[in-house]
Amino acid sequence: MRATLTVLGSGTSMGVPTIGCRCAVCSSPDPHDRRTRPSVMVEYGGHSILIDTTPDFREQAIRERIRNLDAVIYTHAHADHILGLDDLRPLTFWRDENIPLYASPDTAEIIRRMFRYIFDGDYKYGGLAQVELREFEGPLELFGARFIPVKVLHGDAIIYGYRFGSAAYLTDHSDVPPESIAQLQGLDILFLDALRKRPHPTHSTLENSVKLVEQIRPARAFFTHISHDLGHEETNTGLPPHVRLSYDGLKLEFEI
């Protein structure tokens, strides 16, 4: 079945421009250099699935005219990937059933703690997001498509990327173990973390991610979680033709 992936956000945790920064990329007039926090939306057969709810979710949803949402899948519970959860509210009110939020047990525990007012049951002020947290560990079947968790190392933490059909979305990784590389064979589209050129303890560098692309050999690769160290145009010039920095609003078609 044909599917569309939309990049809702391609920036690192602080976003680009970064508050208070006057560097060349933060002051760039190129719209590709404006990056909200990292998330993608996958649409197929009339359904929409979100991967992560960033602090910029409201802005992303308005920009992409998101009107309906069927599920959210989380990669991990860092603030830049979950803090937009409350902004799911308007998308949940008109539905008969709660929107399911899928997360690993570790991630679900942190989400439950951070958004206690939603999951506690004794909130008296109304207007809560009508959502339901569902823990999962193995592959997830959603509306005729399969989302397979792909383990990656984010510093010391094990977190998840996902493979769905001929595409995979990996964000926030400093290392991709060999068994995960094996899960990523025969891809049309691969998303990888590429924070910057200098090493970082919990994120991949541009150079390391290019090496991963050479190893995994997808037809096309896109980088995300990009910091203000990398200007869009200039960085793309130095990349192989099938590897590009992603950008907010990028839409890609693939087979799911």
- 52 part of the interface to Zn ion, by CB under 5 A: no
Among 172, 190, 209, 254, binds Zn ion (CB under 5 A): 172
CB 74, CB 101: distance < 8 Å: yes
Give me the residue whose beta carbon is nearest to Zn ion.
Answer: 78
173 binding Zn ion? (CB under 5 A): no
Q: What are phi and psi of 166, to 5 degrees?
A: -95, 15
Q: Which of the ranges 6-14, 18-26, 65-73, 185-193 carries the binding residues for Zn ion, by CB under 5 A?
A: 6-14
Q: Work out how close the CB of 224 gets to Zn ion at its nearest, in angstroms, rounded to a whole number.
A: 9
| Pick from 176, 173, 159, 194: nearest CA to 77 | 159
80 lies in the site for Zn ion, by CB under 5 A: yes
- The span of 166-174, 188-196, 204-212, 236-244 binding Zn ion (CB under 5 A) equals 166-174
Taking alpha carbons only, the member of 143, 138, 146, 184 closest to residue 165 is 146
232 is a site residue for Zn ion (CB under 5 A): no
Strand partners, 11: 226
Q: Is 61 helix (H, G, I), strand (E, B) or coil?
A: helix
How many residues touch Zn ion (CB under 5 A)? 4
- Whichever of 3 and 41 has its CB closer to Zn ion, that residue is 41
Of 32, 35, 78, 163, the one binding Zn ion (CB under 5 A) is 78
What minimum distance in Å lies between the beta carbon of 231 and Zn ion?
20
Alpha-carbon gap, residue 140 to 147, rounded angstroms: 5
Which residues are CB-contacts of 240 (< 8 A; sequence separation ≥ 6)?
210, 213
Torsion from C-alpha of 31, 248, 4, 107, nearest 10 degrees: 180
In the complex, minimum distance from the CB of residue 215 to Zn ion, in angstroms, rounded to a whole number:
23
Q: Which residue has the tokens 């539905």?
A: 95
Q: Which is nearer to Zn ion, 33 or 80 (CB)?
A: 80
Residues that bind Zn ion (CB under 5 A): 13, 78, 80, 172
